[in-house]
């Protein structure tokens, strides 16, 4: 999912296809949650802060049709020590189809390196959990 930073928010456009189908013709709720969680990951890049999702809440307002352009927006609403509070929406046209809030917790880069897969070099210059 391609993201753009605009005035402290992260925006993305997305069209879900049959791979993300739940009920016939409609997006699976897990795909909607994953897209919003991924967008919150984009907010971390904006903040230059490595963190992970500790809690994710999604309110499904309307069924989300497949093959329909969706617009997503997310931002960090507050920080509290290592905790980052996020809010985001998914819209189809003028209608908000889903809203999400999340709590991320700042971690050190070592949290990701533990997987054994190298992290992008840029991440190393960013402050980790100790920054909170």
Ligand X SMILES: CCCCCCCCCCCC(=O)SCCNC(=O)CCNC(=O)[C@H](O)C(C)(C)COP(=O)(O)OP(=O)(O)OC[C@H]1O[C@@H](n2cnc3c(N)ncnc32)[C@H](O)[C@@H]1OP(=O)(O)O
Q: Which residues pair with 100 in a beta bridge?
A: 58, 88
Structure tokens at 72: 């997503």
Among 17, 55, 62, 78, the residue binding ligand X under the rule CB under 6 A is 55
Decide: is 62 part of the binding site for ligand X (CB under 6 A): no
Q: Which is nearer to ligand X, 96 or 105 (CB)?
A: 105
Q: Which is nearer to ligand X, 35 or 44 (CB)?
A: 44
Sign of the Cα pseudo-torsion (50, 53, 57, 59, in order)? positive
Contact positions with ligand X (CB under 6 A) in 91-130: 103, 105, 107, 123, 126
Decide: is 83 part of the binding site for ligand X (CB under 6 A): yes
Decide: is 88 part of the binding site for ligand X (CB under 6 A): no
Dihedral pair phi/psi, residue 83, rounded to 5°: -90, 135
CB of 47 to ligand X, least distance (A): 8
Among 11, 28, 45, 61, the residue binding ligand X under the rule CB under 6 A is 45
Rounded distance, CA 96 to CA 119, Å? 34
Q: Which residues of 13-40 are buried (b: 16+ CB within 10 A; e: fewer)?
A: ebebeeebebeeebbbeebbbebbbbbb
CB of 94 to ligand X, least distance (A): 29
Decide: is 50 part of the binding site for ligand X (CB under 6 A): yes
């Amino acid at each position: 999912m391609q993201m753009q930073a605009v005035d402290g928010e992260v925006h993305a456009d997305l069209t879900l296809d049959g791979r993300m189908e739940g009920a016939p013709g409609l997006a699976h709720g897990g795909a909607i949650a994953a897209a919003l969680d991924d967008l919150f990951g984009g907010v971390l890049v904006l903040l230059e802060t490595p963190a992970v999702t500790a809690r994710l809440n999604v309110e499904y307002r309307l069924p989300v049709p497949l093959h329909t352009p969706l617009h997503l927006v997310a931002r960090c609403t507050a920080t509290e020590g290592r905790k980052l509070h996020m809010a985001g929406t998914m819209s189809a046209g003028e209608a908000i189809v889903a809203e999400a809030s999340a709590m991320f917790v700042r971690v050190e880069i070592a949290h990701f390196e533990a997987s054994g897969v190298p992290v992008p070099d840029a991440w190393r210059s960013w402050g980790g959990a100790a920054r909170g």
